[in-house]
């Protein structure tokens, strides 16, 4: 896989840079209004893009950033905050540049406004790449998508992995290839269909896998436990095909914070059990909260795990939007060895799947 270090000189070059600014926006009841502009709820992904942007601009390149955003239709309401976080003025462009670039830094507005993006259209990718010298993918978090600005674009421009994409693959490979002894995986949250493949791929490559959230509920249900109205997947039996749900390496909670019988967090005995286990680990990988941490009444399990991990000397990797948000609320994000920007992409990579964005760059 070619990386930006393989490009000798950016001076005067036009660079199409795939970034990841798909950030959450504060909801109406939480919204902080500043001059009628919306407020970004979590800025981690934006901060992670800054080194690549600075590297290119300081090297004399003209840069057009391409990204999507799901929470709103346009980047316009959050543009002032983007400029503040990146410490640079940004020209927001609603039309494809077609080789006509403003000096400095440009952001093409929400790339998913064009139907050709999600269709992975070659024609659209060709139009998108017109007039550029290089394409750089610095958006690992969307590499599991087969979209035009991630996949088809490489057919029309010399293409390279950005600093962040390179960093992500190196650290996640370290997780996969490290010795199974004293390696603990923690899987929580929802979206069991993305979590169970990770469990299947890593169960023989780790010592224990600690489970919380919906995945744990699914196993409890399949084992015949009455989980009442707790959130679970209807097709969990299909998801678990090929996995022994009674495998002793799968570690589940023994007690719960379950008002009215609905499991919303792990209980105090389980918190202690999980912390004891991770305290003996040399490597810990965590994706997904232990419960409904957004409600402070059910955040204890997630927060206690986070604080315990922050104080370990082991190699600790976390990822997933909810996990990052929870850890960031405690102000301890900098205590971890690596924080992945990828949610779905991180899980797909750890599950052993080929990511289209990396495949396009010649990674495999």
pLDDT digits (tens, 9 = 90+) for 141-154: 999 999 999 999 99
Average pLDDT (106-133) is: 97
State residue 130's pLDDT score. Answer: 95
Q: What is the pLDDT of residues 9-65, one digit of tens each?
A: 999 999 999 999 999 998 655 555 444 578 998 899 999 999 999 999 999 999 999
Mean pLDDT of the region 168-187: 95
Record the pTM: 0.92
Residues tagged in the binding site annotation for ATP: 195, 294, 320-323
Which tens digit of pLDDT belongs to each residue from 71-88?
999 999 999 999 999 999
pLDDT exceeds 70 at position 280:
yes
Candidates 145, 163, 179, 170; CA nearest to 281 is: 179
Give CATH for domain 178-350.
3.40.50.1260
> What pLDDT digit, counting tens, does each position of 298-318 carry?
999 999 999 999 999 999 999
d(C-alpha 298, C-alpha 276), whole Å? 21
- Structure token pair of residue 116: 């050709």
Q: Tell me the domain boundaries of the chain.
A: 4-166, 178-350
Region 239-260: what's the mean pLDDT?
A: 96
pLDDT at position 35, please?
46
List the structure tokens of 53: 């942007």
> What are the CA-CA distances from residue 8 to residues 11, 77, 159 (Å)?
10, 37, 14
Residue range 4-166 in CATH 3.60.20.10? no
Q: Do 4-166 and 178-350 come out as alike in CATH topology?
A: yes
Question: pLDDT value at position 103?
Answer: 73
- List CB contacts of 336: < 8 A, sequence separation 6 or more: 309, 310, 316, 317, 318, 327
Residue positions in the annotated binding site?
195, 294, 320-323
Q: What is the pLDDT of residue 65?
A: 97
Compare 30 and 333 and report the one with higher pLDDT.
333
The pLDDT, as a whole number, for residue 99 is: 63
């Amino acid at each position: 896989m070619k990386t930006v270090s393989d490009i000798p000189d950016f001076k005067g070059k036009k660079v199409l840079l795939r970034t990841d600014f798909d950030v959450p926006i504060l909801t109406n009841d939480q919204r902080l209004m500043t001059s009628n502009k919306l407020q970004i709820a979590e800025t981690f992904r934006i901060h992670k893009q800054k080194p690549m942007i600075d590297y290119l601009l300081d090297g004399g390149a003209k840069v057009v950033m391409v990204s999507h955003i799901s929470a709103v239709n346009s980047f316009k309401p959050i543009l002032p905050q983007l400029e503040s976080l990146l410490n640079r003025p940004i020209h927001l462009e609603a039309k494809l540049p077609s080789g006509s670039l403003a000096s400095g830094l440009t952001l093409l507005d929400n790339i998913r406004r064009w139907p050709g993006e999600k269709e992975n259209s070659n024609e659209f990718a060709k139009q998108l790449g017109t007039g550029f010298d290089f394409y750089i993918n610095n958006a690992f978090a969307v590499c599991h998508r087969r979209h035009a600005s991630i996949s088809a674009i490489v057919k029309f421009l010399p293409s390279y992995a950005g600093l962040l994409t390179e960093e992500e693959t190196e650290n996640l490979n370290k997780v996969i290839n490290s010795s199974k002894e004293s390696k603990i995986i923690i899987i929580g949250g929802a979206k069991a269909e993305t979590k169970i493949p990770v469990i299947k791929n890593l169960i023989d490559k780790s010592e224990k896998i600690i489970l919380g959230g919906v995945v744990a509920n699914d196993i409890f249900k399949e084992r015949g436990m009455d989980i009442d109205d707790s959130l679970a997947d209807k097709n969990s039996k299909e998801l678990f095909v090929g996995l022994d749900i009674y495998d002793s390496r799968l570690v589940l909670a023994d007690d719960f914070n379950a008002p009215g019988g609905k499991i919303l967090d792990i209980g105090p005995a389980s918190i202690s059990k999980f912390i004891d286990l991770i305290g003996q680990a040399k490597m810990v990988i965590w994706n997904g909260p232990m419960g409904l941490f957004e409600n402070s009444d059910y955040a204890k399990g997630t927060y206690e795990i986070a604080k315990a991990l922050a104080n370990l000397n082991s190699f600790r990797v976390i990822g997933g939007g909810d996990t990052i948000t929870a850890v960031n609320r405690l102000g301890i994000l900098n205590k971890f060895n690596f924080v992945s920007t990828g949610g779905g992409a991180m899980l797909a990579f750890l599950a052993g799947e080929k990511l289209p964005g990396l495949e396009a760059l010649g990674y495999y």
